[in-house]
A and B are shown apart, each in its own frame.
Chain A
Amino acid sequence: MRATAAEETQSGPLVLLCLASWVIPGAGHLWLGRRSKGLVFLVALPLMFWFGLRIHGRLFPFDLSEPLVALAAVADIGIGLPYLIASALGMGGGEVRAVTYEYGNAFLIVAGLLNLLVVIDAYDVAMGRK
């Protein structure tokens, strides 16, 4: 199906919107004027990610020889900028002997996946579906 002229015109800003929404959780909603939703995402998602790091979760490497590890890495990077900052600071090494290790992984992975869901929601709002 061919895109309409309006959709073609909007595709540039839409890509930027999705990119901003991924890099900074909630930025897409703030951009679209949904201030309260954007602020909740901006605070809650990085907080959940930080919590995962604090309880010894691991940021998984992109190891394609182990598909589940690679999938977990994709989910981790879904949080955007907090992932890049944590990686740059050498955080997220994971302490496998810690009681909270698996919980930490769950927090990190789910925070990333929820942010991807937020990106999709921002896209839907921008397209006028919500």
Chain B
Amino acid sequence: MQSHMLLLVVFAFFVSLIFAVIAKDDLRDQVRFGGMMFGGFVAAAIVLGWLMYPFPL
């Protein structure tokens, strides 16, 4: 597995899963919190990736 995007998604999945299970007790809250965190990780990575695209200038 050498895809940066896939590795990023797998990493975000594991981290979101553990944080959601630690932070919330109810399954529905865990899914919501974990999903938001996972989406935030992936979206931030894509946005930051595009922001860095022109560098080095």
Name A residues whose Cβ lies closer than 8 Å to a Cβ of B: 37, 40-41, 44-45, 47-48, 51, 55, 99-100, 103, 106-107, 110-111, 114, 117-118, 121
Chain B residues, CB < 8 A from A55: 1, 7
CA distance A110 to B13 in the complex (A): 12
Least CB distance, A43 to chain B, in whole angstroms = 10
In the complex the two chains form, is A110's CB within 8 Å of B15's CB? yes
A-B contact pairs, 18 of them (CB 8 A): A40-B17, A40-B18, A40-B21, A41-B18, A41-B21, A44-B17, A44-B18, A47-B14, A51-B14, A55-B1, A99-B2, A100-B2, A100-B7, A110-B11, A111-B14, A117-B18, A118-B18, A118-B22
Name B residues whose Cβ lies closer than 8 Å to a Cβ of A: 1-2, 4, 7, 10-11, 14-15, 17-18, 21-22
Chain A, interface SS category: helix
Q: How many Cβ-Cβ contacts under 8 Å join chain A to chain B?
A: 39
Chain B, interface SS category: helix
CA distance A51 to B7 in the complex (A): 10
Chain A residues, CB < 8 A from B10: 51
In the complex the two chains form, is A100's CB within 8 Å of B1's CB? yes
